[in-house]
Each structure stands twice: as structure tokens, then as C-alpha cells.
Structure 1
């Protein structure tokens, strides 16, 4: 048994090593300064503290064509832009480009916005199949010290082909609470797409334990609450990077299944401080007038991943029907083949590395079947200190079918089957 455990650990480490070197890695996050004399412009930003290198910590990613979007929440002062991107063909320490551009992606020295396209503070983002970038903006600065509300929280939708803002919807007091912290957004599209398509955005409010639903077609939002959206007090203890801390974070991440026979999807979701996975039909979520009793009974417990399996983010690969999720306390990545029973045997840790994957914060599957993982040492950033002479932030990527090969998450194909997915060849 002990020999098997050693082999399993070595296999997991081998899998992690297969992703080395990372696609991107940084000691500190730097920017592609937009000027003729970039050094002088950077020097100015350093001087007036609109850029404090050590205060920039990424938390979210999303890939679109030749760009990888990277978010930096305004935990502290000195964040030039919260929504940024790098080019995939750039160097490992590629500089960040504010989105949609330098002027509108940044705040002024007095912490004000210059455009309704400016994103003040976002954690995680979503790219849909119609080349739209969905962003939920908390609108705040200096979250870790002295919170300042710069703009109202809002949902922004960009056309990535033109960089034009398609829609901005400000979230009001009817759906928000004083403790609201909007951490992720995922989108269900209904119909053929285009200007007349129906889309619903599901936004996790980690701070006040709710899911906010926004209808693009109706241009309105409503709040959904359930007791399963709260944290589990037995899962609030963490140890990452040698640092012990306690979080009481509620529902923080959600991802959508493929449409079911009834035309609706299941929204899979979990609180950060929990080891359980839940789901809720979007038939209920889309109905702003759904009875409270239906909402109360509408969340299903899928199962428990086991001790120390808290996750910050999850995403589903529609090709393999596998859910991937971060494993914060294990510095790794877990998976679940959704065609199988949810139990500890079918939810293995498939990647783990205490160096390159310390505090995996976000995970995304792109439209080509590639998985993207962001690790950022967040526990050191918030509770201790970081050594900026070392690499602190990494983006890893690999095809999903390669990652699950040989694991309980792999899709088994019967011998002689006339259908063998090209992804499994």
C-alpha cells in the first residue's frame, strides 16, 4: 500500500512536471508602457505610486484567440489596470496591456474613471462562444486597507472583435448587500447568438452568499439566495505556502453544464470554504419570480471531495465532459468526469506542485480544449510577504485530454467502437 502511495505521488509530480516550463511566469507583474520613452513613463508611474510593482497580484484568466486576459483586483494601491491581456506569442514574462486601452483601462491619479468602459476591480472573467468578454466589476479600490467605492458595481460586455462595449449594466441595492464581493461570472447563451440572442450571466457574490442573475435580453438582474451558498465552518481552515489562515468565504465560483433535454443547463457551484459541490437548474435561476420554496429546495448536493479540498475556481470541458477545479490546500488541480458518480475515487488530484502551483487561483478551458491554470501565492501576498526575486505568478496550459489520460477522469472508449473522439487519439 505504501509503495502504491509513493508511485501515485510520483505520477502526480510527473504530470505537473510535464507542464514545465510554464507558458507565462513573472516575479512581478509589469506593463507594456504606452509611450515613446517607456522607461520615463514607468518612472513617472512609480513616482506618483499609480504603479507599485509589489502590489500587483493576478487572480483570473481567460483565453481568446491570440490573447490571454489577466485580471488584477485592486487589493492595494498602485494597480495600473485591473483588466489586462498578454499576447500568446510573447515572452514568458510578457508585459500586460490594459484593456480596452491605456486611457480607458486605467484610473486617474485621483482614482476616478475616464470612460464607462473602464473596469475598476474584477476578479474572474468569462469569454463566451460569440466572442464576447463578460466582466463583473466591483468598482472598488484598496480592498485590503481602506475600501473606496469608485464606481457602482456593474456587468460589462465587450465585443472582442471590435473592443466595443456592447452593454454596461449597473447592479443596484436590490441585488447587492453591504458585504457583497462579486468574484466570478459565467454565461448561458440561448438561441443562435448575435444582437437578438438571449444570454444569462450568473455572478457569484462570495461576500453575501448569493448568486446574482443578469438577463442581457431583458436588461435586468435579480438575486438568488440559498443556505448552501454559505461557507462550511468545518472547511474554513487553510494552510498554503506554510501560512495558516481562516476564511469564511461563501459561493465563489460556478460553471455550466451542457444544455439538458429540457433546454436548460445545470449551474455547478461551490463556496470557497467548503469541500462540497452543488448544482441548480438554470430553469429556476432564470425565473426571477420563482417561489422561495422552489429556490430553497432547488439546490442539489452532488457530493464531497474530501478533507482539505477547498477550491477557488472550476470550469467544465464540453469535449470530455470533465470538470476541473483548483485544489488550494494541495497546490494542485482536481477533476471529475461528470459521466461518473461523484466520489473521492472519481475526483482525483491530477496535478500538484508546491512550487509552480502554490495557490492555484483560477482555471479555465478554452474553446480549443486547452486548460489554463493561474497560480499566484495569494496567501503570502495577503498575510505575509513575497520574495520578488523569485517567480511568484505562473500560467500553465495543456490539452484537457492529455491531463486526464490514465486517470479516473478519462473517457473510456470501448474496443471496436465506431466513434473515437479525435481528442482521445
Structure 2
């Protein structure tokens, strides 16, 4: 689906492409069934939950900001199923944005999913997620998402829970859990910043902090991810200006920011004691 403003075009059915980067070859493609996704316009991101000892046990979790769903793909079963929950919807009280002088209201639902460290006792991992139009963070667990029978039969409403609120203007596109520092990093689009929370502390606005803020080079941080070394990468793209006004082609509108997690959190509330 090509989502040009007012001119969406369906090119083909949405697919997953699984590629072995060490050998530069495609392993598999999986066409997402129409029973799961009609068009695929709302799948903004994807997170892979891989077992380091058995690739067959790998899963992909895909949030759908339009349909308010999480799609789960099992590599071993080569199947996909869906969870739907009220916490995947946007928060109308957090719909107002003011970015680079552009004021607008959006209704994007669940946008980002990130997976925490495995609990040695339960063998499960926490799964943190949030809608973009919201300042609330939510949690479930991999043992929930990986249960196809649960997704099919229902009765899982209480297995998706609220952690807390990040505070005013903390709407976030993507976020990422760093396993070494145990810190969550957020791309905060409504204040041109990168936020953080140390998961070893209580979840509250007071325990969140900003590791980087720039009203010129961090306008609308649209993507945040980590490379194989653990370094955090953030892309800002000035999207609201492009949608509601006009980009200045005589200046830079796209920026990349990079930092290692332990350096990024130095001097903040997220620093490891």
C-alpha cells in the first residue's frame, strides 16, 4: 500500500520477507491472509522476538495503528494470528499535536512494540507497547502473544495491562528496550526529543527523563531502533511540515542521531546506580 495523501494505491497484498543477512538470501515470504488484514495500511512497525539457540522459535509482532490490533507471526508454524484490545486504541485526550508550528489532531492507535529481558523463572518476556496518540504505556508478555489458541478463543482482556503515564506531551512513535541497561528509549514526536525510563524504577512521569532535545534537528523523530552493537539510532523527518505546509528544500529536513545507551543516559534519571 502506497499511502500518498488522498491517493492510496494497493500494489499487492502485505507480506513478510524473511532474509538471512549473513548469507544475503531470502529464506521465506509470507503473505498476510485477508482474514487477518484487509489492506495493511496501518502496520507501522515490526519487532522480531528471536531465540538465540533455535531460529525456528522466532516470532514477529506487528502493531496495526488503524485496526487496533497486534499481529503475531510464528516462523515455526508459518502462521499468523491477531489480538485486539481496547488499549491498542488512541487516547482522544492526547490527540492534539504542535510540531514545528503545525497544529493538528491525529488518531493513530498502537504504533510500537518492544520486548524486554526473559524472566529466568517463567521463561517469558515482558512486551511493552503504546499507541502513538497516547502518553500511556502498556504491558503484556510473550507467553500471551505466542498463544494462538488464546487469540482465537478470547478471554485475554486482563492480560494486557496499563503500566502508567509518561507525562504531558510525551506522545511517542517508536520505542526500544535496551537489554544491557534495562532502559526504554522513546521517540517523542510532540516535543522533538528522545525520552527514557529505567525499567528497574517505578513507572511514573517523575522517573522519566529526556536524553536529547533539539527543536531544529529532531523535528518529528519518526523512528528509533538499535543496531547489532546496541547503539540507538533515531531518524527525524519533519513529517508534519511536509503534510500540512511545505518543506524548505534549501535546508536539511532529515537527520540521523546515534548514541550508545550507557552514554545517552549519563546524568539522567535513567542512569544505572
TM-score computed with the length of structure 2 as normaliser = 0.95
Q: Is the 8 A contact 2:224 2:233 kept in 1?
A: yes
> 1:371 deviation in Å?
1.2
Q: Is the 8 A contact 1:179 1:208 kept in 2?
A: no
The 1-side partners of 2:266 and 2:52 are apart by 34
Q: Is the 8 A contact 1:236 1:274 kept in 2?
A: yes
> 1:218 deviation in Å?
0.3
Aligned to 1:232: 91
Q: Is the 8 A contact 1:272 1:310 kept in 2?
A: yes
> 1:180 deviation in Å?
4.4
Which of 137, 154, 157 in structure 2 is aligned with 1:292? Answer: 154
Unaligned ranges ≥5, structure 2 = none
> 1:292 deviation in Å?
1.6
Matches within 5 A, 1:1-400: 140-177=1-38, 180-190=41-51, 192-194=53-55, 197-260=56-119, 261-290=121-150, 291-293=153-155, 295-400=156-261
Q: Is the 8 A contact 2:3 2:41 kept in 1?
A: no
Secondary structure in 2 matching 1:302: strand
> 1:380 deviation in Å?
0.6
Superposition RMSD on alpha carbons, in Å? Answer: 1.3
Instruction: Report how many residues are paired.
Output: 270
Q: Kindly indicate whether structure 1 or structure 2 has the higher relative contact order, using CA contacts under 8 Å at least 6 residues apart.
A: 1
Instruction: Flag the structure with larger Rg.
Output: 1
Unaligned ranges ≥5, structure 1 = 1-139, 413-425
Q: 1:246 to 1:152 in 2, by over 3 A?
A: same
Q: Is the 8 A contact 1:275 1:311 kept in 2?
A: yes
More strand by share: 2
Misfit runs of 4+, over 3 Å: 177-180
Q: Is the 8 A contact 2:13 2:39 kept in 1?
A: no
Secondary structure in 2 matching 1:248: coil
> 1:147 deviation in Å?
1.3
Q: Deviations over 1:290-338 (max 9, x none)?
A: 1422x21111111101111100000011111101001111100100001
TM-score computed with the length of structure 1 as normaliser = 0.62
Q: Is the 8 A contact 2:14 2:39 kept in 1?
A: no
